A and B are shown apart, each in its own frame.
Chain A
Amino acid sequence: MFPTIHRDVVCTFCGCLCDDLEVTVEGGRIRGVDNACELGAHKFTTEGRLKAPIRRRGGVWGEETYTAAIERAAEILLDADRPLLYGWSGTCGEAQSVGVQLAEILGGVIDATTSVCHGTSILAIQEVGHPGCTLGQVKNRADVILYWGCNPIEAHPRHMSRYTTYTDGFFLGNSHRDRTVIVVDIRRTDTAQVADEFIKIKPGGDYAVLSALRAMVRGKDDMIPPTVSGVSRQQLRRVAAICKSAQYGALFFGMGLTQTGGKYKNIRNAIELVDELNRHTKFTLTPMRGHFNVYGFNEVCTWMTGYPFAVDFSRGIAWYNPGETSAVDLLARRECDACLVVASDPAAHLPRSAVAHLADIPLVQLDPYPNATTAFAEIQIPVAVTGIDAEGTAYRMDGVPIRTRKILDLGYPDDRTVLQQMLERIREAKGR
């Protein structure tokens, strides 16, 4: 059999959603992946999927049919008074949409991994807005790039070569020389090594440094002390001047800013710095989203419920109050009595107290692969991988929606199909 080469394949690893991969398929298996970074290529070549749904009875795993597994999953959700539907970042929008409908009919809570990554960014955006753009604006125009609290070389390996530092743009013929790269972090990361300017701040010092820069952009640098969170006034002055004199500046930020002390207030400060810079030049800000479709969940959930994450339907209406309705809080309060986990691994990422409760309640997992959460699950239903053996919509970190491809057919149902079947059973049970 001859190999088939699929071009312009979309990588469903991180929020970059690179769509220029070349994937070679031969004999129903992926033999090669070109253009992808190491993380993306690994996703395409990972093996070890479950063959069929598994269910644990009395501590022993056994295989189930899809019909029986879906039936049991629906029962678990129907029996619950306060079900939590969590995850969603590693699947397509079409599946997320069914997830929201499930939460609505069950009167449950739906939340995504957003609430432990860029949920804080959303809270800040809800206070002050978001001056942003698509990544091509940065590629074609930006002569100043700031990476704050993120390390794209390791986490988003093609970000700099596809969208920023190392790519030529319409107005930038010689990208690397024409752009100034500034990295702000608490340690000298690989990204910091390639920066023109590295601002090393003391842990927890982001808010103060952002405030100092804002003051300087406003022309009030005489009030800044000699050092701010370990950064010299001299360096801050230099950086403020670079930003103000940029033709076009782009600030990217990651969990180093969203999840440190100050949390959403840090982001609010960053947005207000960008806002201030827009009075002098053009400046934009973009969160470095992690999972390939975490932003997609925010979009889908918003157009369906009005809110981007942490939505509680127990009152019949969509109720949103992060801190009350977000997954970690709900689990830590031991409030929910069943959980459906889709396309994520909360056991590996949530705080211990939250994970402890997950272990105590009936849990259904939809995921192509077993992971740490599987250890707590009553049922795991293996599904197709969006972007490999299922297609669907994903939203890039800048909000550009892309249709992911299906390049293989391994016979697994996709998330949307399984969830839709669950929804049908629940609708029947509820008589609507």
Chain B
Amino acid sequence: MTELLIRNACVIDPINGIRGETMDILIRDARIVESVSGRAEVIDAAGCLTLPGGIDSHTHICGTKVNFGRYMMPEDMRAGRTARQGGMHATSGYSVPTTFGNSYRYSAMGYTTVLEGAMAPLEARHTHEEFSATPLQDTMANTLFDGNWAVMEAVKENDVKRAAAIVGWTLSAVKGFAIKLTNPGGTEAWGWGKNVECIHDPVPHFEVSPIEIVTALVRANELLHLPHSVHLHCNRLGVPGNAWCTVDTFRHIPDLNPERQSLYATHVQFHAYGGSSWKDICSRADLVARAVNDRPQIVMDMGQVMFGKTTTMTADGPMEFNLYRLHHNKWSNHDVELETGSGIIPVYYSRKSTVNCVMWAVGLELALLTRSPWQCLLATDNPNGAPFVKYPEIIGLLMSRKYRDAELATLHPEAERRIALPAIDRELDWNEIAVMTRAGQAKALGLLPLGKGHLGPGAAADLAIYPVRIGEIDPSAEYRRVIEGFRQTLYTVKRGRVVSREGRVVVEGDNSTIWVKPRISEEYDMGRDPEFAKKFARYYTVRMGNYPVQEAYIRRSICIETEAEL
């Protein structure tokens, strides 16, 4: 039995309505409890901001394309190297660090749970292997269905139950967490070097449209009773004028679940542009934020862009090729049979580029124009918009108009006419930041039942203690202190153990992988479906028996079983 007593913490816990109260937090056996014995280890957190452990609901840290990002970029690896130290492994990399680099840096920032944004089912084993070398965070993986042939065939037949059955079988087989759709239909079209324009374009050869895939899977998701909603990377990413495509997508989403959203739209910054070309691109964050404000069934994350060097990587293969043609640096592409695609290129977001300045502003506008922080979460689509180590700066920008003005003064002069940011006065408060970085993320991901995202009795003892005294700091004026405070915790506690202290990892860590297993009736069990098996055998290059990820790959398994209505 391990016990921990954290004294005099200044707690913000939005789920339990606690807004800066000084209190003790008591932990026994990895759970928050109401009393501990006198033998408990004591941490003095006097006055320090104490939050539930940070959750990143959309990041790219493990898997085939992340690793290929490292593989193709020794220059990025040289940009962030640390030596082996105590129990810490050597790390490399800035925008795509090694698994240990990711894990240590997230932990130093108080993050205890992360969701890998895109996992190709066929290559899921790779993601799980890397998860096992990401010791300090609980991990889970969105599973790609955007170009899944079997799903598209079911959608074409208007058979939502069969689509749900295919999704359920696949998620169980690959130990995935949620349905991810990246440029639905577009990645299949990219198999022929093509793309789809927006949500009503037909997918070549499959006679379905992107919106048919999205809406069918939104319904299928609820039939399976999955903890998270459909997780969507909209069509037309990064294209001037795409805000209308995004809003049109939102219009089609039904409100099906009273507990949470029915659609999680990711890195919406990349999907909220006006104009008709790179010459007249402008922000239409207003349009998108209004659509979200009107619809409780939508939650989004910002996908904030920050200036500097990074690497873009996504299952949206055609988008990456187009971006490569603009940047002319290097380009990798990896299409996965019957399922999805991907692309990787390095980028530099420059203050000298009007387009990049607009992108920077759009993310902030989305967060500031969305009324409820529960509907716009903080993320950079790491590393696409920026590496996650930039989160403290984003918090500073959201909390301080003064900081935004200082940054706006450094932008390309043309940018100001194309954005609304200079006219927005809103400054977020500590509670809203706590929602956007943990409570809202836990709710959107459906992790509240696991005790994530809050600090009430029974909650998982994942928390972060920052050297920030919220009563003594005016974030509006002293944004530098806010940024410094969020860069490194005094203590990060994971499953009731201190895992890092002032940025140094103190235990080996022992992460869990959270995955879902919907229970499906025999009639809809794809493992016994002759048609499914026949097509699998004919078109995949691995045998169906070798496709599922074995339990051996999961270090500590948290399996969420659901009863599917099938």
A associates with B: yes
From known contacts A105-B84, A306-B77, infer whether A8 and B67 are also in contact, taking CB-CB under 8 Å. Answer: no
The binding surface of chain A is classed by DSSP as: mixed
Interface: B541 (CB within 8 A): yes
- Collect the chain A residues with CB atoms within 8 Å of residue B331's CB: 128-129, 131, 275
> Is the CB of A132 closer than 8 A to any CB of chain B?
yes
A137 with B191: CB separation less than 8 A: yes
CA distance A313 to B337 in the complex (A): 38
B67 touching A139 by the CB < 8 A rule?
Answer: no
Residues A341-389 near B (CB distance < 8 A): none
A204 within 8 A of B: no
Question: In the complex, what residues of B have CB within 8 A of residue A129's CB?
Answer: 72, 324, 330-333, 344-345
Q: Answer whether residue B532 sits at the interface, using C-beta atoms and an 8 A cutoff.
A: no
Question: Residue among A10, A93, A127, A317 with the most chain B CB within 10 A?
Answer: A317
B70 interface hit (Cβ, 8 Å): yes
> A313 vs B125: C-alpha distance in the bound complex, in angstroms?
28
Which residue of B has the minimal Cβ distance to A162?
A: B541
- Complex contacts, A402 vs chain B, CB 8 Å: 125, 542, 546
Tell me whether A318 and B539 are in contact in the complex, defined as CB-CB below 8 angstroms, given that A278-B321, A306-B70 are known contacts.
no
B546 adjacent to A403 (CB under 8 Å): yes
Partner of A303, one of B81, B87, B130: B130
Chain B window 311-352, contacts with chain A (Cβ cutoff 8 Å), 1 for yes, 0 for no = 000000000010011000011111111100100110000000
Closest to A10 in B: B546
Chain A: minimal CB distance from B309 (Å): 16
Report Cα–Cα, A393/B128, bound state, in Å. 11
- Minimum CB–CB distance from B60 to chain A (whole Å) comes to 13
Among A129, A303, A313, max chain B CB count under 10 A is at A303
Interface pair B333/A141, CB less than 8 Å apart: no
Q: For B68, what are the chain A residues with a Cβ–Cβ distance below 8 Å? A: 130, 399
In the bound complex, do residue A282 and residue B92 qualify as a contact, i.e. CB atoms below 8 Å apart? Answer: no
Give residues of chain A (148-170) contacting chain B, Cβ–Cβ below 8 Å: 162-163, 168-170
Do B546 and A125 touch across chains, with their CB atoms under 8 A apart?
Answer: no
Contact status A130-B89, CB under 8 Å: no
Q: Is the C-beta of A133 less than 8 angstroms from some C-beta in chain B?
A: yes
Q: Quick check: is B83 within 8 A (CB to CB) of the other chain?
A: yes
Partner of B71, one of A168, A302, A393, A403: A302
User: Is there an interface contact between B191 and A141, defined as CB atoms closer than 8 Å?
Assistant: yes
Within 8 Å by CB of A320, from B72, B77, B330, B333, lies B77
Does B64 belong to the interface (CB within 8 Å)?
yes
A32 at the A/B interface (Cβ < 8 Å)? no
Residue of A nearest to B331 (CB): A129
* A141 to B90 Cα, complex, angstroms: 42
Interface string of A41-56 (1 = CB under 8 A from B): 0000000000000000
Evaluate contact between B337 and A132: CB separation under 8 angstroms.
Answer: no
Task: Give Cα A110–Cα B120 distance, bound, in whole angstroms.
Answer: 30
**Which A residues lie within 8 Å of B98 (CB)?**
302-306, 318
User: Could you say which residues of chain B place their CB within 8 Å of the CB of A420?
Assistant: none
Tell whether A299 is near chain B: CB-to-CB under 8 Å: yes
CB contacts (< 8 Å) of B466 on chain A: these are none
Given contacts A282-B192, A305-B98, contact A135 B541 (CB under 8 A): yes
| A203 → B minimal CB distance (Å) | 29
- B29-72 CB mask vs A (1 if < 8 Å, else 0) is 00000000000000000000000000000000010100110111
User: Which one of A10, A93, A140, A305 lies within 8 Å of B92 (CB-CB)?
Assistant: A305
Q: List B contacts of A275 (CB < 8 A).
A: 331
Interface size on B, residues (CB 8 A): 64
Interface check A429, CB cutoff 8 A: no
Say yes or no: A303 contacts B541, CB within 8 Å. Answer: no
List of A residues within 8 angstroms of B422 by Cβ:
none
**Closest Cβ neighbor of B550 among chain A residues:** A403
- A247 and B541 contact, CB distance less than 8 A: no
Closest CB in chain A relative to B137 CB, distance in Å: 15
Q: Which of B77, B99, B122, B337 counts the most chain A CB atoms within 10 A? A: B337
CA distance A129 to B65 in the complex (A): 12
Q: How many angstroms between the C-alpha atoms of A163 and B539 in the bound complex?
A: 10
Chain B contacts of A170 at CB under 8 A? 149, 538-539
Within 8 A of A (CB), among B115-173: 122-123, 125-126, 129-130, 133, 149
- CB under 8 Å from chain B, chain A span 295-317: 298-300, 302-308, 313, 315-317
Question: From residue A15, how far is it (CB to closest CB) to chain B in Å?
Answer: 13
- Report Cα–Cα, A229/B341, bound state, in Å: 37
Contact A306:B93 (CB < 8 A) given known A135-B541, A282-B192, A393-B129 = yes
With known contacts A131-B331, A134-B122, A401-B125, A122–B71 Cβ distance under 8 A: yes
Which single member of A133, A247, A316, A395 contacts B335 (CB below 8 Å)? A133
CB distance from A350 to the nearest CB of B (A): 24
Which chain B positions have C-beta within 8 A of A198? Answer: none
Q: With A8-B546, A303-B130, A399-B64 in contact, do A134 and B90 touch (Cβ < 8 Å)?
A: no
A residues in contact with B471, CB < 8 Å: none
Across the interface, which residues of A come within 8 angstroms of B91, CB to CB? Answer: 306
* Complex Cα–Cα for A126 and B84 (A): 25
- Min CB distance, B505 to chain A, in Å? 13
- Give the chain A neighbours of B257 by CB distance below 8 A: none
* Inter-subunit contact B332/A400 (CB<8 Å): no
**Chain B 527-566 against A: per-residue CB contact (8 Å), 1 yes, 0 no?**
0000000000011111101100010100000000000000
Interface residue ranges, B against A (CB under 8 Å): 62, 64, 67-68, 70-74, 77, 81-84, 86-87, 89-93, 97-101, 122-123, 125-126, 129-130, 133, 149, 190-193, 205, 321, 324-325, 330-338, 341, 344-345, 538-543, 545-546, 550, 552
Can you identify 23 A-B contacts, CB atoms within 8 angstroms? A93-B129, A104-B84, A122-B71, A129-B331, A129-B344, A131-B331, A133-B334, A136-B122, A136-B541, A139-B337, A139-B539, A140-B338, A282-B190, A299-B67, A302-B70, A303-B70, A305-B90, A306-B77, A307-B70, A315-B83, A318-B81, A403-B546, A432-B87
Interface on A for B, CB 8 Å cutoff? Answer: 7-8, 10, 19-20, 93, 97, 101, 104-105, 122, 125-137, 139-141, 162-163, 168-171, 247-248, 275, 278-279, 281-282, 284, 298-300, 302-308, 313, 315-318, 320, 393, 395, 399-403, 432
Given contacts A131-B331, A303-B129, 4 further A-B contacts (CB under 8 A): A7-B545, A129-B331, A135-B541, A303-B98
Chain A to chain B: the 5 pairs with minimum beta-carbon distance, closest first: A136-B337, A306-B92, A316-B83, A306-B77, A282-B193
